[in-house]
Amino acid sequence: MAKKTYKRELAIALLIWLAYVVEVKDVAIVEVLVWPIFAFVGAAFGFDAYSKQLWDKSSESSDRRRPEHSSEYTGGEDK
């Protein structure tokens, strides 16, 4: 089981905080904060989705084995 990192929760909290800053503070501070916050939010959700796709692919590929009744391998006997 993977360790919880709270990246997505922090990203949501940053978006809520940014909404507060937009309502209360000056435009200049919003212009400075918007790019780092949205970059973090995009990375947090993007990496999460990417890692879930990798996890699904790795669990599928690890279960793929050569069938035991393959005609290529007949128990090591040459006839």
Task: Count Cβ atoms within 10 A of the Cβ of residue 38 and give its class: 0-12 exposed, 13-18 middle, 19 or more buried.
Answer: middle
Total number of domains in the chain: 1
Separation between Cα atoms, residue 64 and residue 79, nearest integer Å:
28
Residue 21 lies in a domain: no
Residue 13 lies in a domain: no
Tokens of 25: 């503070």
Residue 34 lies in a domain: yes
Per-residue pLDDT reduced to its tens digit, 24-76: 988 999 999 999 999 999 988 888 877 778 777 766 655 555 555 555 555 65
Measured from the Cβ of residue 67, the count of other Cβ atoms closer than 10 Å reads 7
The overall pTM is greater than 0.75: no
Range of the domain at 38: 26-60
Average pLDDT over residues 9-23: 92
Residue 4 lies in a domain: no
Residue 31 lies in a domain: yes
Q: At what angle do helices 27-62 and 7-24 cross, to 10 degrees?
A: 160
- Specify the pLDDT at position 50: 79
Per-residue pLDDT reduced to its tens digit, 4-14: 778 888 899 99
